[in-house]
Amino acid sequence: MQLPNNFMMQKFPISKYIGVMLVVWGAVLFCMCFAHSFSQLAGLRFLLGFFEATTYPAVFLLIATMYRRSEQVVWFGIMFVSNSVATIIGNGAAVGILRMPTVGFFSPWKWAMVIYGSATMAAGVVFFFFMPDRSDSRWFKLTEEEKLIVEDRARDNAVVPNRKIKMNQIWEALKEPRLYCYCLISMFVNFQNGALTSFNTIIISDLGFNSTDAILLTMPYAGAIITMIFISTWLSKKYNETIYVAMGACVISIIGLTMLAAIPSGGVKLMGIYLSGGCTPSYVLLQASISSNVSGYTKKIFYTAGNLVFYTIGNFVGPLLLRDKEAPRYLSGMGVYIAANVLAILLFAYVRLVYVKTNKQRHLDKNVNIAALPDDLEDMTDKENEHFVYRT
């Protein structure tokens, strides 16, 4: 999906594109209530994932367009905190819905599809008509003085929306080792994310809890992720360090995974599950690093697409590493997840080293806040713009 998604994100206004995709996504979710066989559900689930894949890169691009580079880490954090809040609300609602009696022709799980699908379609309509997607949007009703301030902000965030796809920017991205580092990090930190997101209720059930309690106990997992995102984004903002904090989040994840592998059973293992959620803040900071260090509209979209492709691969492969016969410790899977986090730390360190070295070569202090673009707003890449300062 990311290839056509790249094209459409560049050709259409982001707010309209997100709005349409949310309506389509919600419609597919709604239609799941009419499924009567596994094949029908599987087909609809495929379409659900297909259209879902459009939203993350579009929102990433929206944040990069609307906010200064120094502000983006906070807004990426808010985005993923919203995900976890939705998990808490959604799981709580799911427990209530599943206890409903059958109403009309629909069993409780089908009513969940109706409710969530309708809410998603309604959100899509609101996004389409009311969400601003440019910092100078008419919705802000800016004065002439405010427009000058907005122009200065646009110069700092180094994003100049451009409907033309520039192949030279894609070629430049393909020649940069950091692209592959970012993609591999995205895959590595999402191995356990895919497993724990998909199977955390099963893993919790293996600890002796019933299915309803297992669903409810995923809510503290989301709460732990919210806490870690708040702490990591605060540290990143306070100390102007993104990559070091991301590496620290990987270390927390390793501690949690080690607890899951080392402790045979018992409620203490829940702490291991919650700490292993450190993969989420590390991914948040990964995306913040991409957003603030890649300039050029086509190039930024291409980097984000590559990141999302490997994010998907990680989430797909991760659950396959858990073997039923190894429950509840899943030693092989946990070992791979730990190794993947170690590799992610090493790749983060390499990317940071490259940024520091490049900044020194350009005779610029990394803490100096200067314009990322020259006098005129141009769609230049970070490599073409010698005034661009990489944020570490």
Distances (CA, A) of 125 to 20, 21, 30, 44, 128: 8, 10, 15, 22, 5
Read off the DSSP letter of residue 106. Answer: B
- Using a 10 angstrom Cβ sphere, with 0-12 exposed, 13-18 middle and 19 or more buried, the burial of residue 155 is buried
Instruction: Report which residue type is found at 358.
Output: T
Domains of the chain (ranges plus CATH)? Answer: 2-361 (1.20.1250.20)
pLDDT tens-digit profile, the chain (392 residues) = 666 777 777 778 888 888 999 999 999 999 988 888 888 888 888 888 888 888 888 888 888 888 888 788 888 999 889 888 888 888 788 778 777 777 667 788 788 888 889 999 999 999 898 888 776 666 667 677 766 776 666 666 666 666 778 889 999 999 999 999 999 999 999 998 877 776 666 666 666 666 667 777 778 888 888 999 999 999 998 898 999 999 999 999 999 999 888 887 766 777 888 888 888 999 999 999 998 899 888 898 899 889 989 998 998 898 888 887 877 777 888 999 999 999 999 999 999 999 999 988 886 554 544 444 444 456 788 888 888 888 88
User: How far is Cα 344 from Cα 368, in angstroms, rounded to an integer?
Assistant: 28
Closest CA to 57 of 133, 132, 5: 5
Read off the DSSP letter of residue 389. Answer: -
Contact 63, 131 (CB under 8 A): no
Mapping DSSP onto H, E and C, the string for 11-63 reads HCCHHHHHHHHHHHHHHHHHHHHHCCCHHHHHHHHHHHHHHHCCHHHHHHHHH
